[in-house]
Structure 1
Amino acid sequence: MQSRLLLVEDDPEIARVIRDMFLREGYEVTWATNGLEGWEDFRAASYDLVLVDLMLPEMDGLTLCKNIRWKSDVPMIIISARKEDEDKVQGLHLGADDYIAKPFSLVELKARVESHLRRWNRYQGTPLYESKTEFTDGLTIYWEQQKIKLAEKEVNLTTKEFDLLQVLAQNPGRIFSKSELYEHVWNNVDAEGLHTVTVHIKALREKLNDPTKKPLFVQTVWGKGYQFIGEPL
């Protein structure tokens, strides 16, 4: 079975060289030219490995790595001309598995990709999340079906409401700012969207019967954002 790679690179010359090399090796390659396009491609299909440049328009590579890691354990390799240790450390801290600096050898890049794919294929049989997760206070989330039940009764969520709940619940205890949630769920970095997040969080809480003052699932961390505090059974 062919491995599927997502390449996010805004330099067309570099991207074509990398893409053509992996195509010759029998890989399937999707090429995105900016961070937002890469995020949309990642959400739309399944990939075995992601190659990400740091200096990207629309959404930078570090933000893209962060968004991908909140959703998946897929291997990620940063490819960048920025060689500062701070950039490398930040990228690895945000979930990247490897970092290769430009200019690089195609032979070395291919070897690193193959190494990470071997490990990914070895552990791929264990999903990051089971098909459903049950929490105290009657909440059950069905990840693949993208639905929830509360006290055994199905609750109708909009796509955006479920996406918000998913990113919060799959990263319990982590505080997400409104801007991070807007970037992740709406694929946008527009500051005007922060009110949209507030409105959707309010609607989500109402459907979860989740009081603001004594929350069971979604807690407001004043001045910072929101976090999921539901306890799994």
Structure 2
Amino acid sequence: MSNKHYKLLLVEDDPSIARVIQDHLRSHYDITWASTGREGWEDFQASSFDLALIDFMLPEMDGITLAHRIRQSDEIPILIISARHEDEHKIRGLGLGADDYITKPFSLDVLTAKIASHIRRYHRYQQPEVPTEEMLWKYAGDLVLDWSTERIFRQQIEISLTSKERQLLFHLAKHPFQSFSKEELLDWIWNQESSDAHTVTVHMRSLRKKLQDPVKKPLYLETLWGIGYRFIGERLS
């Protein structure tokens, strides 16, 4: 089935790599290619996209800065592509709003599977529904989870989460006080998109920060050292 109605923003300064990616994906997606970070930002502001595929090292504006800017104004999936394998770069990218990280050289089939998976999940969360009281779960500390739209509020302010952070929170909240190992969460949320359990740690750290939920005295997300994580929120309704 064709996905030509889905639009991808590809930001890659190496024309040969960009050409290979475009040739592989253009039969399925409408692709806009930008060769610099600044050009990518201008393209993003000028149109709407379903996913952004951004190289880490870019002229004029680096990929992490571009990803951060996009995340501040939109919830589309963001995939960082890079030749760097170090954890610190992955942590930085994921912490600033990217949804996934893929290192060069990579399989075009794996890249295609990742893109399809992220777009599918993103649009699943965009389906509007009318919330009912049963769909609004309220917790001590003024946290509200809207299960109809998967929106999150803390102290009546909506919290912006990446798609993976949202999936983590709702999965854990759906199974309160049940512990999950990193490997279990990796398998459940990421399926086969990632094999690095450290990815879970990075997303949990970012999720805690956005919820303002301290590690030592958590209201919602508890770390069970050597075991994993669990949701401990006190539900009020």
TM-score (norm 1): 0.53
Residue 6 (structure 1) aligns with: 9
Amino acid at match of 1:102: K
Residue 64 (structure 2) aligns with: 62
| Residue 170 (structure 1) shift | 9.2
Residue 36 (structure 1) aligns with: 38
Residue 184 (structure 1) aligns with: none
Whole-Å separation in 2 of the counterparts to 1:31 and 1:80: 17
CA 1:170–1:31: 2 relative to 1, 3 Å:
farther
Moved over 2 A (4+): 169-172
Residue 108 (structure 1) aligns with: 110
The CA deviation string for residues 9-36 of structure 1, in whole angstroms up to 9 with x for no partner, is: 0000000000111112x21000000000
Residue 123 (structure 1) aligns with: 125
5 Å matches for 1:106-185?
Answer: 106-126=108-128
Residue 82 (structure 2) aligns with: 80
CA RMSD of aligned residues (A): 2.0
Q: Which structure 1 segments of 5+ residues have no match? A: 128-168, 173-233
Larger radius of gyration: 1
Specify the SS of the correspondent of 2:26: helix
| Residue 126 (structure 1) shift | 4.7
Amino acid at match of 2:19: R
Residue 15 (structure 1) aligns with: 18
The CA deviation string for residues 58-116 of structure 1, in whole angstroms up to 9 with x for no partner, is: 00000001100000000000011011110000000000000000000000000000110
Whole-Å separation in 2 of the counterparts to 1:5 and 1:54: 17
Residue 49 (structure 1) aligns with: 51
| Residue 3 (structure 1) shift | 0.8
Whole-Å separation in 1 of the counterparts to 2:42 and 2:66: 10
Q: Which structure 2 segments of 5+ residues have no match? A: 130-156, 161-237
Percent of pairs identical after alignment? 58
TM-score (norm 2): 0.52
Amino acid at match of 2:50: D
Query: For the Cα contact (< 8 Å) 1:70–1:171, is it kept in 2?
Result: no
| Residue 171 (structure 1) shift | 8.6
Whole-Å separation in 2 of the counterparts to 1:6 and 1:13: 17
The CA deviation string for residues 122-146 of structure 1, in whole angstroms up to 9 with x for no partner, is: 012359xxxxxxxxxxxxxxxxxxx
